[in-house]
Each structure stands twice: as structure tokens, then as C-alpha cells.
Amino acid sequence: MGKVKIFDTTLRDGEQSPGINLNHKEKLDIAFQLERLGVDIIEAGFPASSQGDFQSVKDIATQIKNSSITGLARSKKEDIDACWEALKQSAEPRIHVFLATSPIHMQYKLKLTPEQVVERAVESVKYAAKKFPYVQFSAEDASRSDWTFLARIIEATIDAGASVINLPDTVGYGMPKEISELFEYMTKNVPNIDRAILSTHNHDDLGMGVANSLAAVQGGARQVECTINGIGERAGNASLEEIAVGLHIRSDFYKTGTNIQLNELKRTSALVSRYTSMPIPKNKAVVGSNAFAHESGIHQDGMLKHKETYEIITPELVGATSSNPLGKHSGRHAFQEKMKELGFKGTADELNQLFQSFKTLADKKKTVTEDDLYALMIDQGEDEQVQTYSLQALQVSYGTNQTPTATIKLVKSGDKEITEASTGSGSVEAIYNTLAKLTDYEYRLTDYRIQSITEGEDSLAEVHVKLSKEEQSQSGRGVAHDVLEASAKAYLHAVNRMLNEEKRKKEPSTVG
Ligand SMILES: CC(=O)SCCNC(=O)CCNC(=O)[C@H](O)C(C)(C)COP(=O)(O)OP(=O)(O)OC[C@H]1O[C@@H](n2cnc3c(N)ncnc32)[C@H](O)[C@@H]1OP(=O)(O)O
Ligand SMILES: CC(C)C(=O)C(=O)O
């Protein structure tokens, strides 16, 4: 049996997670990391849904060479046309067309009869196949669809030109046995099934996303759709890292594997977590910080005697350890070596700047971990974007019987220095009141979260904020050794993103 293809939808279904809003650069960075991870197919977005999605899919399709790129389209000519415009320059243009097949979706959402759904699906797949060499058709809500009807629409769409058929558990309703039987049934009962490969796409509403994906492989699926860290609509999608490691560790059972470079999993997960502002739960399988931590005496004793007593996955397998910790006495060579290992692709000048930031941090911290270095790299990436405002100096005066006051100096548009002071009921509020005056904007703070990137008293602080203004909202993050500085940086990050977005919206549209 060949390898199972991994179809990553972090940039499409993953971005549908409430609260996630990735910008163009973040999407490209994630796409490059997914390519490095060995993902077979990257679903880069839904081109007809917005100008931003269109542009990201187009740029990802032209820049990524070692993974195939696809985009989502409803069964509508306009969506298929937008997808083609975005993907026509990719080495292997692929489209993902979908239409719901469950009674509830057909009747209430689409307001179409089953006959009309078959007609519409066939018409769309035929139209897409005139442009694209690879067409995937998804029968949305397949797990709640009638199996005989599903077999009929699968046969018809394969005849119309689909070479991949996806049977999603759209609302996370299926149970593993049921999902595996669904795939077995289609494999046996669709006469032309050997002309297509079957794909599975599972949501986690009942916590079954990964179990259902693996059950589908048992039932005959040869492509698995999933996301990094399991992000996605509602409770999320099945997580790529758990599926890839599950198929690897239990290859004795599944008799197949994937092209995923497992030792890239940890850094991919960290990058996606940082960019989406979605922290990884400590106990998350494979990539959580407790995944390889053994706490109790009996377990520790077992581990000391023989690691395999309690460890079925080694941290090294998924790229989770750093054997050469960096600190204040580390030099350029060790630093450069580590950055190479972490996938740094910048110029010598950028590396030099990073080295300076690393030295500043190492003066304050005992050990600089991989997570700290990722944070520095991501911070530097932000510097490459247009930053209308940057933080020059911050001073906060605070005392138990005193109103907190923040004095802040910013640099505006690269050269103009502006200074303001303001009070607040707490230090962070004083900072935000001052920044609101300085940036001359009326934002509402709708989310504020602090996370320590690493463990220990001297860890870096990461603050995530969400600012809203009328219908718009933008998230921002700031990393610093000090929580107040990280809070100021996060606010400015969101303001700069908001301003960039406003500027981009004023630029002429190029969709279609
Ligand atoms: C299961 C999934 O994850 S599917 C992907 C879901 N992702 C998204 O929706 C994110 C991006 N979506 C968007 O930006 C918007 O919804 C758009 C641009 C696609 C459409 O926006 P609007 O035109 O304003 O329509 P709206 O979202 O309100 O309604 C969806 C319409 O698409 C129709 N529709 C839904 N699925 C399909 C489909 N597969 N094929 C054809 N039409 C469809 C609905 O019936 C509805 O049509 P109606 O207006 O005739 O009632
Ligand atoms: C478009 C389809 C595959 C989807 O995202 C779902 O059904 O969840």
C-alpha cells in the first residue's frame, strides 16, 4: 500500500477558527513551513471569499514548489473562476469544489432537491475539469448523508472529472466504526471508484477528529485532511501532528505512512500557535509541553530503568528537544548553527540583528530556549512589515496609593518622535490610554491575554490583544522580557496591522 497523502487545511479551515486572522506574510511563512514539513497538498484559502485570500493563494501557489497548492470553491462558476485565476500559475493546479449532500443541508441551506444537487455537482466538476488537471469534489456533511445517494453522486462526479472524492464529517458527528464502514461501503459500491482516491476530513465536535481520520484510513481513505494543532471551525479539525505520528508509531497496524518530516512538527506547531494567538494546551498530544514530561515516582523510576516503559514517542522524533542550550556565553557560531537548524532563511545582516537581540535576552535569562529563538525570529519578521508606530521608550510609575501613570515615546512613520503620558486604573490601562492618545485611534480592547513562552521566572512574556473598531478587528502580539513592554508592543502591533489593512483595502482590487 502506498503512503497516505497529507492535505493540510490550516490556512483555510484552520483560519475559520473564531478569532484567527492571519495576514499575508504570516500565511506565506506558514506555507513555507508546511512545505518543509513535507505536506503533500496545502489548501491555501478560499480565493472567492476575499481579496486577501485570493492574493495569499496566488502568492503561495507561485512560491511553493514542493507541495501542491489548492483552493476551495463552492459549486459556482464565479468561485471556480476565482480559484483558477489564483492558481493557474502553480506547478500543479488543483481545485477543491464542494456541495452538501445531507438531507438537512440540501433542504434548509441550499434549498435544492437531491436531483438538483447531483446536477449542480456534476456541472461544477465538469466546468472545473476544463481548467484544472486535478479536481477534488467534497460531499459536505457526508457523514449525515444517505449512503446510497452518496454513492450515486460520487460515481457521477468521478465521471464528470473528479480524481479525488472527499467524504467529510463536517459537524464531527461520526463515530470511528461508522466512518471506517462508510469508506468501505463506497470502495465496494461505487463502480468507478478506482478512478479516484478517497479523502477524509474530520471535525472534533465529539473529540473524534483524529480517531475518525485513522478509522477512515482503515476503511480505504488514501488522503487525510487536517490542520496544525487541530485548529478549525468550532472545536477544530483533526490535528495533523497526531495523525502523522499515529500512522508512524502504529505502522504495524495501519501498514502505511506519510511523507511528513516528523522532526519538523514541533516548530510548525509553535509557529502556527504564535501566529494564530492560540496557545497549545500543555497536555496536547505530540506537541504539548507536558507530552514528554514524566511527573510521578513510579513513572520516573520506570523511565530511568528503561525509557520504553512509559515513552512510546521520543521527543527527538517530533523535534521537541534542544541538545545544545544557548546562553549568555554562546558565540556567533553556535547561534548561527542553531538558527540554521530552526529554519532561519534570512540574510547575514538579519542574522546579525538576531544575534544582538539574542545577546540582550541572554543577559537577562539563564538559558535561551528554542521557543525564545522562535519568538525572536517572529518578532524580526514583523519588523519587515510596514510599522507606522514603533516603541521607543516606556516608563510606568506605579505605587499602592498612587494612580498608575505611563509615559511613552513612539517613532511615527520611521522618523517623527512623539511623546505622551496618561493615567489608568492599572499599569496596562495607563499604557493603553497613552497609546490610544498617541496613535489617535478609537479602538476597543476586546481581548487581552498573557502567556509565558517558556518556563521559569526569567521567561519571555508574550501578550496577545484584540482591538476592534466598528466592524473591523485585528489581533496583535508582543514579546518582551517584561509584561508591560510586551503589552505595549502587542497593542502597537494590532494598530499597525489595522492601518496596513486599511491601506490595502484602498488599493485597487485584482480578483478575477
Ligand atoms: C464546511 C465548510 O467549511 S465550507 C467553507 C466555509 N468557509 C467560509 O464560509 C469562509 C468564507 N466565506 C465567505 O467569505 C462568504 O460566506 C462568501 C464570500 C463565500 C459568500 O458570502 P455571501 O455571498 O454573502 O453568502 P453567505 O455566506 O451569506 O451565504 C452562503 C451562500 O452560499 C450558498 N452555498 C453554500 N455552500 C454552497 C456550495 N457548496 N455551492 C454553492 N452554493 C453554496 C448558500 O446556500 C448561500 O446561498 P444563498 O445566498 O443563495 O442563500
Ligand atoms: C469544505 C469541506 C471539506 C469542509 O470544510 C467540511 O466539510 O468541513
The mean pLDDT value for 277-288 works out to: 92
3-state helix/strand/coil string of 256-272: CCCCCCHHHHHHHHHHH
Angstrom distance (rounded) from CA 193 to CA 97: 18
Task: Give residue 508's pLDDT.
Answer: 59
Please tell me what DSSP assigns to residue 110: I
Q: Which residues line ligand 1 (CB under 6 A)?
A: 13, 16, 46, 49-50, 74-76, 98-99, 109-110, 140, 170, 233
Task: Give residue 53's pLDDT.
Answer: 95
Q: Is the CB of 13 under 6 A from ligand 2?
A: yes
The reply, when asked if residue 203 is annotated as ligand binding, is yes
Full-model pTM = 0.79
Angstrom distance (rounded) from CA 454 to CA 154: 49
Atom of ligand 1 nearest to the CA of 168: 1
Q: Is the CB of 222 under 6 A from ligand 2?
A: no
Task: Give residue 437's pLDDT.
Answer: 93
Atom of ligand 2 nearest to the CA of 203: 8
Query: Which residue's alpha carbon is nearest to atom 15 within ligand 1?
Result: 49
Between 348-364 and 370-383, two packed helices, what is the crossing angle to 10 degrees? 130
Side-chain half-sphere exposure of 255, counting CA atoms within 13 A: 5
The reply, when asked if residue 493 is annotated as ligand binding, is no
pLDDT at 289 over 90: no
Torsion-angle region of residue 490: left (phi > 0), alpha (psi -120 to 50) or beta?
Answer: alpha
Q: Let me know how long the chain is.
A: 512
The mean pLDDT value for 488-510 works out to: 80
Kindly give the residue spans of alpha helices, DSSP state H, lying in 384-453.
Answer: 427-439
pLDDT at 426 over 50: yes
Angstrom distance (rounded) from CA 141 to CA 202: 10
Q: What is the pLDDT of residues 358-386, one digit of tens each?
A: 888 888 776 677 777 877 887 776 555 67
pLDDT at 203 over 80: yes
Find out whether 245 and 432 touch, Cβ atoms under 8 Å.
Answer: no
Residue from 46, 80, 171, 509 whose mutation best tests the ligand 1 pocket (most atoms within 8 A of CB):
46
In degrees and rounded to multiples of 5, residue 324 shows phi and psi of -120, 80
Task: Give residue 384's pLDDT.
Answer: 55
What average pLDDT does the chain have?
Answer: 91
pLDDT at 455 over 70: no
The mean pLDDT value for 226-241 works out to: 98
Of the given ranges (161-170, 210-219, 499-508), which has the lowest mean pLDDT? 499-508
Distance 172 CA to ligand 1 centre (A): 20
Ligand nearest to the CA of 9: 2
Side-chain half-sphere exposure of 495, counting CA atoms within 13 A: 26
Distance 414 CA to ligand 2 centre (A): 44
Angstrom distance (rounded) from CA 426 to CA 404: 6
Atom of ligand 2 nearest to the CA of 12: 5
Q: Is the CB of 166 under 6 A from ligand 2?
A: yes
Query: Which residue's alpha carbon is nearest to atom 25 within ligand 1?
Result: 49
pLDDT at 509 over 70: no
Sequence-distant (≥ 6) Cβ neighbours of residue 173 within 8 angstroms: 143, 144, 205, 206
Sequence-distant (≥ 6) Cβ neighbours of residue 10 within 8 angstroms: 30, 34, 227, 228, 231, 240, 272
Find out whether 8 and 42 touch, Cβ atoms under 8 Å.
Answer: yes
Q: What is the pLDDT of residues 144-172, one digit of tens each?
A: 999 999 999 999 999 999 999 999 999 99
Atom of ligand 2 nearest to the CA of 142: 7
Task: Give residue 246's pLDDT.
Answer: 98
Distance 109 CA to ligand 1 centre (A): 10
pLDDT at 262 over 90: yes
Q: Is the CB of 98 under 6 A from ligand 2?
A: yes
Sequence-distant (≥ 6) Cβ neighbours of residue 349 within 8 angstroms: none
ipTM of the complex: 0.98
Find out whether 237 and 201 touch, Cβ atoms under 8 Å.
Answer: yes
Q: What is the pLDDT of residues 103-159, one digit of tens each?
A: 999 999 999 999 999 999 999 999 999 999 999 999 999 999 999 999 999 999 999
Task: Give the distance from CA 483 to its chain's centroid.
Answer: 25
Look up residue 362 and give its three cell numbers: 541572554
